[in-house]
Structure 1
C-alpha cells in the first residue's frame, strides 16, 4: 500500500478503487484522462490528488473548480466525512454527467454544478481547489467568488510555478505557501490565502 493511502480508511481506499474503475470505463469515450495515462492512473492522478488532503484541515465545504474527470474533486469526496461536502464545477456536459454518475454510484457527499465557473452561484467554501486548469493569475480570479474570506485555495502546479506566482503578483496580493509534490518530481502544491485584487476591491 502506498504511503499516501496509509493515512485514510479502508473504506476510502475502496471508494478510490471504485472511482478508478469508473474512469477506466468512461475515459475511452469522453477522454477523462489521456490514453497514455490510463496504465498509471493510480499514481499519476488518484494519489496526486489525494495528497492535497494532507494540506487541508478543519474544512466543512470544499469547491473544486474545472473538475474535469474528477481530479481532485471526486478524490476529496471519497475521503470526506459525513459532515463535509464537496461541490464540483464543470462546464463540459459529458464530464459533468460522468461526475454525477461517480457521486451516485460511489455514494459521495458531493454535488456537481454543470456551468462555467464564472457563471456558477458563489460557493464561499472553506477550500477551493484546481488541478491543471489555468495559470495562477486567472485561477485567483476564478476562485475568489467561490472562496470565503478566511478560506484557502489549493492548486497543484508544475515547474513553472515561480513564474506563475510572479505574474499573479502583478494583479493580486495574496499569501502563498509552496510544498513539494509527493507524486511528481517537479510538482508543487500552492496554498493561497488573503486574496485581493490590486487596486480593486
Structure 2
C-alpha cells in the first residue's frame, strides 16, 4: 500500500490515485512487454513514478506542448500528463514511440486515465509533429544525440529536460563539441548521483 505522505510532491488525492493506477497498469503490462527492468519492479514507485514526477517542476509555466521522445513505458511522459491533468489542463503531450506494442500501452493508459496525450508510433527521425515548448527523454540516448532530436522537435526558445546518470559531466563535455547550449544540472531527488539537465538555447556548432 502506497501512502500519499510518501509522495514528495504536492498533488491532489485524485492525481495521487491516478499515479497509483498508472503504476498498477505499468506493472501489469510489464508481464508481457518489456517496459521496465525486472530488477526495478519491487521499487517501482520510487524508481519510476517519483523519478519521473520530479520533472514537472521544470516545465515552464508558459509551455502548452510537450514532446516526449522514446516514450517506452510512459516514463516520464504519462506521469507528467497525470500531474498536468488537473493543474495544467491546457498542457498537451505528444509521445513518440516506434515500438508498436509500447505505443498500444501508451494509448491504452492515456484513454483509461483521460490524459491529454497523442501517441505517434513512428521513428523519431520520421516524426512530423508541431514543434514543442518542452522536450523530455529518460534513459534513451547519449546527450549529443538527444540534442539533435531537440533541435528537430523543439521551438528555438524551448526547454529540453533530460534525465541523466552519474556520467552526465562527460556527456555534457562531449555534446559541447557539436552544440552550443545553456545547461543547468539539478540533483535528482530520487538518486543523488543522477542529474536532471535543464537545457536551453540549443544551437549547432558551425
Question: Are residue 69 (structure 1) and residue 73 (structure 2) matched?
Answer: yes
Q: Give the SS at the match of 1:30.
A: coil
Q: Distance in 2 between matches of 1:162 and 1:27?
A: 32
Question: Are residue 125 (structure 1) and residue 132 (structure 2) matched?
Answer: yes
Give the TM-score normalised by structure 2: 0.93
Residue 55 (structure 1) shift: 1.8
Equivalence for 1:9: 12
Residue 2 (structure 1) shift: 2.3
Match of 2:47 among 41, 44, 47: 44
Q: Is the 8 A contact 2:7 2:50 kept in 1?
A: no
Q: Distance in 2 between matches of 1:115 and 1:156?
A: 22
Matches within 5 A, 1:162-177: 162-177=169-184
For structure 2, list consecutive stretches of 5 or more residues without a partner in the other structure: none
Q: Give the SS at the match of 2:160.
A: strand
The root-mean-square deviation of aligned C-alpha atoms, in Å, is 1.0
Q: Is the 8 A contact 1:176 1:190 kept in 2?
A: yes
For structure 1, list consecutive stretches of 5 or more residues without a partner in the other structure: none
Residue 147 (structure 1) shift: 0.6
Residue 123 (structure 1) shift: 3.0
Q: Is the 8 A contact 2:132 2:153 kept in 1?
A: yes
Q: Distance in 1 between matches of 2:125 and 2:20?
A: 32
Alignment size in residue pairs? 198
Match of 1:158 among 157, 165, 175: 165
Q: Distance in 1 between matches of 2:165 and 2:148?
A: 20
Residue 177 (structure 1) shift: 0.6
Q: Is the 8 A contact 1:63 1:123 kept in 2?
A: no
Q: Distance in 2 between matches of 1:198 and 1:138?
A: 14
Question: Are residue 30 (structure 1) and residue 33 (structure 2) matched?
Answer: yes
